[in-house]
């Protein structure tokens, strides 16, 4: 009897030990499977991240890496590789941000140089351009044998540009509406219909639509007080230092469609200070 009891308790101990090993083995496999999944995910990310457009995070900006290649624009922190000319996609929007002295202007000049050499049409808006920036842009264009047209209030070689030259009545009205500030939707719709009426009137008489002509028509309207807000905004744009350039009716005036068709260059600048 005693021997039988001993044997059965030994069996119990063995089966307990086997069960414990079974559990340990099972849990170990689970941990290994988890580690394997993490590794595979990491490896996939590492392999494919070269082609994606992952957003840059704050931790990426701590990277001290920079390119050693003289022909590269810089270092891509997400893709861990040089940022070369061919990596720049000019069909997407690009924002260059950084503190003063970090090379924003320099990078912009390099990107301009690239697209100008590729014969793409470029419109360069710079509300605070220095003479240095203008000269730099001009030099890039000259080196690539491209002609530059300047729209500004202070250089001698300025060129007329009528933003209202192209398009039908709705397109021209939309352009003005989008450039203005609106506070009230009723007032906005009344102003839009007055605007379209004036543009239609000018077009039906075969006249070139200019801001000055619209302002003149507005000034004669009996319902002028209902469109006072728009009238004031258009009048102040019309009386700006750009008035002779935007209201010019000569045959060589520039427009958005001519700009695209003729592959031309423009430098826009407002006088500052």
Ligand X SMILES: Nc1ncnc2c1ncn2[C@@H]1O[C@H](COP(=O)(O)OP(=O)(O)O)[C@@H](O)[C@H]1O
Contact positions vs ligand X (CB under 6 A):
98, 100-106
CB of 107 to ligand X, least distance (A): 7
Q: Which of residues 97-126 bind Mg ion (CB under 5 A)?
A: 105
133 forms part of the interface with Mg ion (CB under 5 A) = no
Taking CB within 5 to 8 Å according to partner kind, which of ligand X, Mg ion, none is near residue 257? none
255 binds, among ligand X, Mg ion, none (CB under 5 to 8 A by kind): none
Query: CB under 5 to 8 A by kind: which of ligand X, Mg ion, none does 42 bind?
Result: none
Distance CA 108, CA 101 (A): 13
Distance from chain centroid for Cα 34:
41
- Would you say 67 or 105 has its CB closer to Mg ion? 105
Residue 224: DSSP 8-state? G
The minimum distance between CB 69 and ligand X, in angstroms, equals: 11
Residue 49, classified by CB atoms within 10 Å of its CB into exposed (0-12), middle (13-18) or buried (19+), is middle
Phi, psi of 262 (to 5 degrees): -90, 0
Give the whole-angstrom CA distance, residue 238 versus residue 173.
16
Q: Decide whether 140 or 209 has the Cβ nearer to ligand X.
A: 140
Can you tell me whether residue 268 is helix, strand or coil? strand
- Give 3-state DSSP helix, strand, coil % of the chain, rounded to 5: 55, 10, 40
The whole-angstrom distance between residue 28's C-alpha and the CA centroid of its chain comes to: 51
22 binds, among ligand X, Mg ion, none (CB under 5 to 8 A by kind): none
Which CB atom, from 52 or from 100, has the smaller least distance to ligand X? 100
Q: Least CB distance from residue 82 to Mg ion, whole Å?
A: 23
The CB-of-73 to ligand X minimum distance in angstroms stands at 8
Q: How far apart are CA 174 and CA 214, in angstroms?
A: 14
Could you tell which of ligand X, Mg ion, none binds residue 243, using a CB distance below 5 to 8 A set by kind? none
What's the Rg (C-alpha) of the chain? 34
Q: Which residue lies nearer to ligand X by CB, 105 or 243?
A: 105
Provide the binding-site residues for Mg ion, judged by CB under 5 A.
105
């Amino acid at each position: 009897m005693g021997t039988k009891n001993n044997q059965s308790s030994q069996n119990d101990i063995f089966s307990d030990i086997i069960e414990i090993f079974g559990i340990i083995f099972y849990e170990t496999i689970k941990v290994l499977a988890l580690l394997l999944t993490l590794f595979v995910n990491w490896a996939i990310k590492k392999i494919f991240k070269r082609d994606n457009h992952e957003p840059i995070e704050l931790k990426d900006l701590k990277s001290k890496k920079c390119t050693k290649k003289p022909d590269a624009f810089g270092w891509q922190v997400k893709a861990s590789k040089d940022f070369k000319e061919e990596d720049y996609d000019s069909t997407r929007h690009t924002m260059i941000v950084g503190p003063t002295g970090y090379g924003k202007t320099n990078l912009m000049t390099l990107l301009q140089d690239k697209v100008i050499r590729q014969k793409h049409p470029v419109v360069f808006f710079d509300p605070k351009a220095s003479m240095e920036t203008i000269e730099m842009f001009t030099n890039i264009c000259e080196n690539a044998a491209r002609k530059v047209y300047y729209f500004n209030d202070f250089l001698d070689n300025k060129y007329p540009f009528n933003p209202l030259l192209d398009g039908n009545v709705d397109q021209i009205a939309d352009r003005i509406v989008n450039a203005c500030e609106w506070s009230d939707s009723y007032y906005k719709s009344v102003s839009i219909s007055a605007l379209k009426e004036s543009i239609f009137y000018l077009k039906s008489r075969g006249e070139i639509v200019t801001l000055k002509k619209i302002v003149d028509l507005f000034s004669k309207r009996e319902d002028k007080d209902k469109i006072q807000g728009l009238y004031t905004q258009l009048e102040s744009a019309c009386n700006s230092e750009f008035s002779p350039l935007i209201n010019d009716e000569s045959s060589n005036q520039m427009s958005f469609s001519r700009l695209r068709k003729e592959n031309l260059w423009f430098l826009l600048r407002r006088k500052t200070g």
